[in-house]
Amino acid sequence: MTIFQNLLTPEFKQLYNDAIDAIIDPANGLVNTCILKYGGSATQQTVCNNCLYDTISRLSSNMYNGTGPKPFSDGGICPVCLGSGSITRNSVIKEEKVNLAIIMDNKYFFNVANALNLNSNHIQILCKVELLPKLQNAVELIVHDLAYQQAGEPQYCGLSQHKYAFMLWRVK
């Protein structure tokens, strides 16, 4: 057994975890309320809300559906879908507020292997591992009104317990 292993007592581990807990405590100055966005800006096709849809031709049946915003006469061209029977709209981007400890200055990043590739566009996030799936699913992270994208795999930390993770993001 090395001296270092002797140091890793349950008390020491608790101290370490307490220290990180303090860093990611929402009351602490390092913690920012950020917005995670999921699902990107994909578009989706939906049936036109103004005309009757013809399921055989997969086009507008050229008849007003009685409830849409722009009535037109039977046999005419639907003014909403222009006869295509469907409309394209942006899918709703889901978003969620999360509290993350953020290190903005790369001089203070933890555990970074190739620090030479880092610049002021990078930030490092420290969070509990429970939050990682959300971070990894997100297509965008908004911090101080700037949009960031993931810049690498998370690195686990927390001595032997993997309670926490660091993750790099860079400006989109």
Nearer to Zn ion, 33 or 45 (CB): 45
State the nearest-atom distance from the C-beta of 83 to Zn ion, in Å: 7
Query: Minimum Å distance from CB 56 to Zn ion?
Result: 16
Note the residues at the interface with Zn ion (CB under 5 A): 48, 50-51, 60, 78, 80-81
* 62 versus 150: smaller Cβ distance to Zn ion: 62
Q: Is 101 helix (H, G, I), strand (E, B) or coil?
A: strand
> Rounded to whole angstroms, how far apart are CA atoms 172 and 149?
6
Residue 89 CB, shortest distance to Zn ion, in Å, is 13
Length of the chain: 172
Nearer to Zn ion, 5 or 67 (CB): 67
Question: CB neighbours (10 Å) of residue 80?
Answer: 18
80 CB-side CA count, 13 A: 26
**In angstroms, what is the minimal distance from the CB of 81 to Zn ion?**
3
CA angle 36, 41, 138 (to 5 degrees): 25
Residue among 50 and 124 whose Cβ is closer to Zn ion: 50
